[in-house]
Amino acid sequence: MAYIYVIEDEENIRELIKIALEGFGHEVSAFEAAEPALESMKEKKPDLAVFDWMLPGISGVEAIKAIRGMDGLSKMPMLLLTAKDKELDKVVGLDSGADDYMTKPFGVLELAARVRSLLRRGGKDIGAEGDTVVCGKLTLNKKTREVWFDGQKAELTFKEYELLQYLLENRDRVVSRDELLNHIWGYSYDGETRTLDIHIRTLRQKLGEKGQDYIKTSRGVGYRLVGDEQA
Ligand code: CA
């Protein structure tokens, strides 16, 4: 787990990045502009920063250059986001001192993977990594028991979460009703599986229109969790 600054003026993207990184167990402080982030860094140093290039006031590139000259922060990993995708821009971006570069639009899973790799390169211990399970657009954190689908947080009940985690850990296999009842409820319902079906129904609803397709019904047998490729 790392402490990460996200500096992005577009609210939707800022929130999406924040939610995604928190889903991977990181702590995130988000800023709309570079100036307050630079100010805050003097008080509370992040382990990594994600800067958008085009910001009101100081640009992401200018901010990165400034940070490279700051005491105790000159080696901090920094990722630059930009809508520009020309080769020349990439060179300029990397020359700015950014450690990595991503062009918008990007997927949050790719962003999280780049962040992980930068943290690893920087020798940062990311123990929370093992707590996060990803399947397609579905992300689950076993430590915080939080679940996201496509960047949207799903508020699950205790049993719904237990069900989802069990299905996720047994993904691509049909898990029988009996097995789910025994594992989640701890005893056999003697053929009464209505409780299970109701929980599956509310779980599907909470995962949303696309997320519900991740949980397949195997008629007369049980349920199976699949990724994007089969959903
Ligand atoms: Ca921007």
Domains defined along the chain, listed by start: 3-126 (3.40.50.2300), 129-225 (1.10.10.10)
Distance CA 103, CA 183 (A): 44
Query: In angstroms, how far is CA 31 from the centroid of its own chain?
Result: 18
- Gap from CA of 58 to ligand 1 centroid (Å): 11
Q: Record the pTM.
A: 0.55
How do residues 11-70 score in pLDDT, each as one tens digit? 999 999 999 999 888 999 999 999 999 999 988 999 999 999 999 999 999 999 999 888
Q: Which two tokens stand for residue 16?
A: 């999406």
CB 167 within 8 A of CB 225: yes
> Please, is 137 exposed, middle or buried when counting C-beta atoms within 10 Å of its C-beta (0-12, 13-18, 19+)?
buried
- Gap from CA of 101 to ligand 1 centroid (Å): 14
Maximum average pLDDT range among 52-66, 113-127, 132-146: 52-66
Distance CA 118, CA 129 (A): 14
- Gap from CA of 75 to ligand 1 centroid (Å): 24
- Gap from CA of 4 to ligand 1 centroid (Å): 18
CA distances from 11 to 7, 23, 111, 123, 152 (A): 10, 18, 17, 31, 15
How do residues 186-213 score in pLDDT, each as one tens digit? 765 555 567 788 889 999 999 988 888 9
pLDDT (0 to 100) of residue 125? 39
- Gap from CA of 128 to ligand 1 centroid (Å): 30
